[in-house]
Each structure stands twice: as structure tokens, then as C-alpha cells.
Amino acid sequence: MPVFHTKTIESILEPVAQQVSRLVILHEEAEDGNPMPDLERPVMAVSRAVANLVKVGRETINSSDDPILKQDMPAALMRVEGASKLLEEASAMLKQDPLSGSARKKLIEGSRGILQGTSALLLCFDESEVRKIIRECKRVLDYLAVAEVIETMEDLVQFLKDLSPCLSKVSREVGGREKELTHQVHREILIRCLDQVKTLAPILICSMKIFIHIIAQGGKGAEEAAENRNYLAQRMTDEINEIIRVLQLTTYDEEEWD
């Protein structure tokens, strides 16, 4: 099972995660007697980068209309900031005593903290993106719910005008999301559900047309036509609900890579 939930998160965090693991091993092997180098300059570079990140993060929090992001992001920013302070403290301690064991521990703790904090930030953002996609999926569900009250061609035309751009957006965004996921099974489910939605949509519209023609001519079969239409609308609804469910799944487990 992949550790990182999306390919973007994986590409950003994996190299650093690997390096932190290697350094922890190195430190455990060379516990005594090796003086640490002067790390003031690289630590200061990290501090500056963190300060920029925190500034951008705070601006994002202030301008966002996503209440969950506004709630979750500050803690992640604080984690990164706190970890950066640990690195600064460790660097200062090592200047005084290059053999300091507690300084080395702070370095490792600070590095891990930055990794955890940036991971939390990326996850926070990723979840916000998923919520946007789900909002669009729910708009499609809202339209599907009114399919049964469409009884004239004019209404059907309007229905189609409203539904089509919404469906196209869902198709684009879910398709893009599927490509980002690292979990193969989730990807396959999204692909399958999306294919079903694309197949069912024109058939649903057709069934709605048939229903409208039948009731316009006052002929028999209106009930069966309505049942058929409702069945197709329900199938599409089920597929969209499955997409929403899978979008919210995650393979991310903080303890796994900790």
C-alpha cells in the first residue's frame, strides 16, 4: 500500500522522508565521538523558507472560503514553524559544543517536524481540493433529483443546458483526480464509475424524451417510461455517490511513515 496519497505529495515528501531515515540511522551508528559540522547557513536558509511558507499559508487561510481549511491549516503551519525553531536551537548548541548529543536529537526532531508539518499542509490542501470536486458531484446529484419533474421539451432543453456543463466539469475533475491517486484500486473504481456515468447520461436523456412524448400524446406506457427514467437516474446517482465515497478515501497514515 502506498504511503503517500497522491503523486504530487509523494514527489514532494518522499525524497526528504528517505533522507531523514538515512540520517537517523547514521546518527545511531555514530553516536559518540564525531563532532557535528557548522550548520548555521543551511539552517538559516530553511528558516527563511519557512518564514515565506508561513506568510503564504496565512494569506491563504485569510482569503479561503473553506472553513475546514481555515481550521486545519494553522496547526500545520505552527508545526513547521516550531520545527524550524528546533533546527535553529540545535545549530546554536552545536556551535558551542559540536559533540552535543541533545543538539543532534533536536536536529532530528526538527527535521521530522518539518516533514510532518509540510505533510499536514499538503494534506490539508489536498482535502480542500477534494471537497471542491465533491461539491460539483453534488450539483449533478441535485439535477438528477429533478429529472422526474421534467415533463415538457422546453424543460428538458433547460435541464440539459444546466446538467451538461456540470457533468463535463465532474468528468474533467474526477478524471484528473484519478490520475493523481497512488492507490490503484481507488483509481480503478473512479475510472469505472466515471465511464458508467458517461454511458448512462445520454440514455437517461433519451428516456426523459420518451416519457415526454408519451405523456404529450396521452398514450399508454407513461408509467413504464417513468419507471425506466427513474431507474436510469438512480443508477447515475449511485455511481456519483460511489465516486464521492472513493474520493474521500485516503491511504495516508501519519503513523506509517513516522
Partner 1 sequence: LRVGWEQLLTSINRNINEVENQILTRDS
Which residues would be at the binding site for partner 1 (CB under 8 A)? 8, 12-13, 15-16, 19-20, 22-23, 26-27, 30, 34, 36-37, 39, 42-43, 45-46, 49-50, 52-53, 56-57, 60, 63, 80, 87, 107, 111, 114-115, 118, 121-122, 125, 128-129
SS3 36: coil
Min. distance of Cβ 82 from partner 1 in angstroms?
Answer: 14
Min. distance of Cβ 1 from partner 1 in angstroms?
Answer: 23
* Closer CB to partner 1, 123 or 205, in the complex: 123
* Closer CB to partner 1, 103 or 208, in the complex: 103
SS3 190: helix
Contact call for residues 159 and 146 (beta carbons, < 8 A): yes
120, three cell numbers: 499536514
Min. distance of Cβ 47 from partner 1 in angstroms?
Answer: 10
* Closer CB to partner 1, 37 or 67, in the complex: 37
Burial (0-12, 13-18, 19+ Cβ within 10 Å), 124 = buried
Min. distance of Cβ 196 from partner 1 in angstroms?
Answer: 29
State which amino acid sits at residue 114: I
* Closer CB to partner 1, 80 or 167, in the complex: 80
Min. distance of Cβ 121 from partner 1 in angstroms?
Answer: 6
* Closer CB to partner 1, 129 or 238, in the complex: 129
Task: Give the Cα separation of 18 and 258 in Å (integer).
Answer: 11
Question: Got the DSSP string for 118-161?
Answer: HHHHHHHHHHHHHHHHHHHHHHHHHHHHTGGG--SHHHHHHHHH
Comparing CA positions, the residue from 197, 199, 175, 195 lying closest to residue 247 is: 175
